[in-house]
Structure formats: C-alpha cells, structure tokens
Chain A
Amino acid sequence: MLDLKGRKGKWNISVLILLGILYLVIHCMAASRILLPYHIQVLGLVCINIILVVSLNLINGFLGQLAIGHAGFLAIGAYLSAALTVFYGFPFLLAILISGIAAGLVGILIGVPALRLTGDYLAIATLGFGEIIRVIILNIPAVGGPRGFSGIPRLTNFGLTYLLAIITVFVVKNFIDSAHGRAVVSIREDEIAADSLGVNTTYYKVAAFAIGAFFAGTAGALFSHYMQYISPAPSQIGFLRSIEILIMVVLGGLGSLTGSVITAFALTLLPELLRGFAEYRMVIYPILLILMMLFRPSGLMAGNELSFEFLEKLFKRKPKSNAKGVSPGGAN
C-alpha cells in the first residue's frame, strides 16, 4: 500500500549490475594499459579502505558509539591470516573467513565490557584495546615482532578487494534496513527510549561492534596479502591507522554509507596523486574534522544516501508529497 519498498529491491539489483559493468570497465582499462598496475594497486587499497570505513561507520555512525580502535581488528585479520597461509598453508578464502570471525570474537570480548561505558570512556577503552593488540603482536617473535611480518604470498588481487568491498556495503546496508539495524540506530537516537521499547541495547551494541570488527578483520587479511608485508607500526595497525579510518568516516558523514565510500576513495587517492598534499594532509584533515563538527556535524552527505531518490530530491527540491501541512520547524 503506502510506502512499500518494491522500488528499493529493484534498486539493489540495478546497482549490482552497474557495479559489475564498472568492474569490467576497470578490467578492460587495465588490459589495454590505460590503467597501469600501480593504479590498480591503489584501487585495491581504496576497496580495502572502503571495507574499513564502512564497517567503522556502522559503529560510529549508526550505533553512535565513538570506538577508535578499529585498526586493532585490522591487525588481528592481517596477522592471523598471514600466519594461517604462511605457516599452515590454509586456503586464502578460508583464512579470510577465519580472520573475520576471530576479529569479530575479539570484538565481542572487548565489546561486552567496553560498551557498558558511555561515549568518552568507550573511545579511550577501544583505543587502549587496539594498542594492547599491537603490543601483543610486537611480542610474538614468530610473526616478526617489531620487524614486521614479511614473505606473505600475494594472494589478494583487485577483483577480490572489489568483491569484498561490495559485500561489506551490502551487508551493512541490509542490516541497517532491517529490524535489527533499526534497533541499532534507535540506540544512537535515544538509548533510554530504545530500552523502554524492548530493545536489548547491550546485545545490539555488541552485535554492531562484532559485525564491524568482522569486516575489519577481513580487510586486514586482504591487506597483508596485498602488500605481502605487515608492519606493527602505529601508522599501519596502531592508533594512527585507527584515526585515519575515523577521519574518513567522519568526513564522509556519520551514518552515510555512500559518504564513506566517497571519502575512502578520495582520501586514499589524494595523497597518491598530490605529493604536496601528503605532507599537509595531517594539517588539513583535522581542520576539516573540526569545521565539519562545528558547521555540518552530520557530514558530507548529512545522513543521506546517494540514491536515485536523493538525487531526485536534490534537483527537484520538491517537498515530499506526503509531508504536506508540516513546516520543518514544526510551527503551530
């Protein structure tokens, strides 16, 4: 009857077809040397970052909890998968899956105590957990300790990163559009009200946290088998990396998946393209971060998704047909 979602279902499929075509185009451009292997390499990193940013946005943007230890889950995935393929000869896909599950389990382990805390404590606690994971890795000689883990086979290719990025976006999107995802969003909006409506807030906090951690783990597995080396430096698997992912989430918009994809793309490419930018980016990003919070806290996309409906709204500027009689200010 009223606002049923038939249209959205079709939308999913048409987007998938577009994404398939995009892949073919990239493939052809690579084959005809318009895109050099270096470009493809960077695009693969873009996809890995999309996984990281979208999965963190689930926690930061939709759940509304400021967790800033995402690189810890990346680290678990990167090292565990490398150990599995290098030492035990696991097939790569299985290693990715196990990495995701392991990161998810650690997410639950961390989430249960940490999510009892309010925002501020959670931020520090997750940052702390991330660092503890890093310090533990530093102290395992078998995976290279401070020297890093080298000699990892190159099992990740662009296609795989592309596929996993798409899976991540779709899983998170479908999750958010389900009763369970709405429960997660309700916690962000008003935890007490959510509680009063029968939402088990602890369960959903941990669930969102675990899903986010799962995908960060798979991104880690892709990453170490892409670079063939993983270093325990803060900029790789420590808080600097976590902050970088956080910056992408915030600039793309808390709670906007398309925003996350756009910033993951832009902020991965920019430093590669503009040499000067790389030097100043850690001045520019924080300024953007602060300005964004001061003037446009909902981010680039303001909680909107780049969709046909959104574009329609943007261009036609027509008030929603069924919202008649109500001005945005709620006058009367």
Chain B
Amino acid sequence: MVWYTILIQQIINGLALGSVYALIALGYTMVYGIIKLINFAHGEIYMLGAYFGFFALTIFNLPLIPAMLISMLLAAIIGMGIERIAYRPLRNAPRIAALITAIGASLLIQSVAQLTFGASFRPFPQVIPFQRIQVGPIFLTNRQLIMFGVAILLMVLLHLIVHYTKIGKAMRAVSMDKEAALLMGIDVDKVISFTFAVGSALAAAGGILVGMYYNRIDPYMGIMPGLKAFVAAVLGGIGVIPGAVLGGFLMGTAENLVVAFGSSTYRDAVAFAVLILVLLLRPSGLLGKRQNEKV
C-alpha cells in the first residue's frame, strides 16, 4: 500500500475510535465545566456501561438498542450516586481532597467490578455480523460506521439538550457563574446531578460501542480510554463542549497514525505527549478561553 492510502485508512480508523473518545471526553468536560473537578471515576463508568450492555444482551437477550438505553440509564444513576456520596460533601473542601476522593471512587469501582465480574476479559456478543466495506483502496467496517454514527447521533442529542431545554440552559448558566445562577433561583445541586447523569450515559454508550468494536470487555478497560478522553477534553479546551468532540477526534486520529507509522508500544504514550504539548503551548486548549484567577 502506498503511504497516503495508509494515511487515509488510519485517519478513518482514528475517527471511528475518536468518536468514542469524544463521547467520554464530553462527560469530563461537562463535569469540569460545572464543578471544576476531574471525575477520575468517569472511565470506570464507561467500563460499567460496557458490562451492563453485555449483561443486557447476553442474560436478558435484549436487542441492541434497548440494551444500550438500559445501560445508559444505569450508568446515569451510578454517576449521580457517586456525585451525591463522594463529591458533593467535598465541594468546598481543598481541591486535593476532592481529587483524592475521585481517585478513590475510580479504584473502588474497578476493584468491585473485578471481584464481581471476574478479572479476565469476556467476549462481547456479536450483535451485528461483521461486514467489511471497500471504498477504492480503503476498508471500512460496518462496526466503525455504527460507532461513528451512534456517537454523532448522541452528540447532536446532547447539543439539543444543552441549547434548547431548560435544564440545559441551567447547565450552561451554572458553568458560567455558579453564584449568579444560584441567585437566579437555579437549583445548582440538581443541575450538577443532571450533568453527571448525562455524562455517565454518554460514557456508557461509548463502552458498549467499544465492546462491540474490539469484541471484548474487561474491568480495566476504562483506565486508558478514560485518561485519553480526559486528554482529549484538555486538548479541545476543558469545559468547552465542542472542544471535547474536536479533541476526541484528534486524539483518535493521532493515536492511529503513531501506531501506523511508528510503533504500537507508543500507542498509550501519544495521549500523554499530546497533553504535555498542549499544556506547554496552549493550556486553555484549542477552543478554550484563557482564564485568570481573581485575587
């Protein structure tokens, strides 16, 4: 194959994977935008989403779409629960305490998942028969198309929620200025809960999509995608919703290109290299605005 077909091929693969990074990154960015906390447990919600989907598909024999909806609902409940139990009491505590709690929540979910679901991986049911589609010298799979399509659909949905519903507008208000929102009579606690719910649901959908894509799930599957999605959120500009989407796609593409033209052992290092470059060159991210602390 000539190099540019490889290039195009890898960009396509990257966009497919990136759409999932974007879904996860949205959760990070929305939560960060509102409570200025990295929700370290977000990657674990994504993992749980994949397992919920797995059980819905295998044990309850549900079709894909209801399985996905149920998984998203359960993930939303768990996300809200984590916020309520672990984060809310620490909202005014020193930042380091909230961060440590977030790390604790992440570890806890991981270990509980490992104990209940088993440490080894499980094959994800092949709900949709594998198909390869050839366009000239480029190959696509139907799974990639589904992954991409579902992700885009959910993003459009999110956009509609954030811009055209009451709660969505409240979300934006709270992320701009919490005190002012409070003064205007917005129930900030409810908005924060809702943000966790929406972010968690998106991550759960991402978990199922990736489960189908790689055909396997395991209790640790959330760690790396979680971190990478966070980097994607930073790359796009944390707190900025379109930024998370852009960052996700860029991350997915960059990772695939490095694997194609470099070495696969560097796959996981790409994210962190990107992170460090962003932080050095443009800490507010591609679409973010500079902020300065009030003295």
Contacts and interface: CB of A to CB of B under 8 A. Distances in A.
Q: Judge A-B direct contact (beta carbons within 8 Å).
A: yes
Interface of A: 60, 64-66, 68, 113-114, 116-121, 123-125, 127-129, 131-132, 135-136, 138-139, 192, 239, 243, 246, 250, 254, 280, 282-283, 285-287, 289-290, 293-294, 297
A283 B106 CA distance: 11
Nearest to B101: A293
B203 interface: no
Given A65-B96, A120-B38, A287-B104, 6 more contacts: A124-B231, A192-B293, A239-B223, A286-B103, A293-B104, A297-B94
Nearest to B273: A132
B271 interface: yes
Interface stretch (B66-74, B145-153, B240-248, B262-270): B262-270
A65 B99 CA distance: 11
Contact of B271 (A117, A128, A285): A128
B111 A283 contact: yes
A282 B38 contact: no
A117 B36 contact: no
Nearest to B269: A135
A239 B220 CA distance: 13
Main secondary structure of the interface of B (DSSP, over half): helix
B181 interface: no
14 contacts: A113-B276, A119-B99, A120-B37, A125-B275, A132-B276, A139-B266, A239-B223, A243-B103, A282-B107, A282-B111, A289-B101, A293-B97, A294-B86, A297-B94
Nearest to A124: B230
A118 B36 CA distance: 11
Nearest to B99: A66
B99 A114 contact: no
A37 B209 CA distance: 52
Given A113-B276, A124-B230, A128-B271, A293 B93 contact: yes
A216 B275 CA distance: 24
Contact of A243 (B101, B107, B115): B107
A117 B283 contact: yes
Contact of A128 (B36, B266, B272): B272
A126 to B, nearest CB: 10
B195 to A, nearest CB: 17
B70 to A, nearest CB: 26
Interface of B: 32, 36-38, 86, 89-90, 93-101, 103-108, 110-112, 114-115, 223, 227, 230-231, 234, 263, 265-266, 268-269, 271-273, 275-276, 279-280, 283, 293, 295
B275 A124 contact: yes
Nearest to B295: A192
A125 B276 contact: yes
Nearest to B271: A128
Given A282-B111, A294-B89, A289 B100 contact: yes
B190 to A, nearest CB: 22
A121 B234 contact: yes
A116 B283 CA distance: 10
Contact of B269 (A124, A132, A192): A132
9 tightest A-B CB contacts, nearest first: A128-B272, A289-B104, A286-B108, A286-B107, A282-B111, A135-B269, A290-B104, A286-B104, A293-B101
Contacts of A68: 103
Contacts of B94: 64, 297
B290 to A, nearest CB: 13
Most chain A beta carbons < 10 A, residue from B36, B86, B104, B110: B104
A114 B275 CA distance: 10
A297 B97 contact: yes
B275 A128 contact: yes
Contacts of B111: 282-283, 286
Contact of A135 (B108, B112, B268): B268
B93 A297 contact: yes
Contact of A117 (B32, B86, B279): B279
B279 A114 contact: yes
A195 B86 CA distance: 33
Contact of B108 (A113, A192, A287, A297): A287
Contacts of B293: 192
A131 B115 CA distance: 26
Given A66-B100, A243-B107, A132 B272 contact: yes
Nearest to A254: B96
Contacts of B90: 293-294
B234 A286 contact: no
A135 B111 CA distance: 25
A66 B100 CA distance: 8
Most chain A beta carbons < 10 A, residue from B89, B111, B230, B266: B111
Given A139-B263, A192-B295, A66 B272 contact: no
Contacts of A60: 96
Contacts of A132: 269, 272-273, 276
A285 B230 CA distance: 24
A136 B103 CA distance: 25
Contacts of A118: 95
Given A293-B93, A293-B97, A127 B227 contact: yes
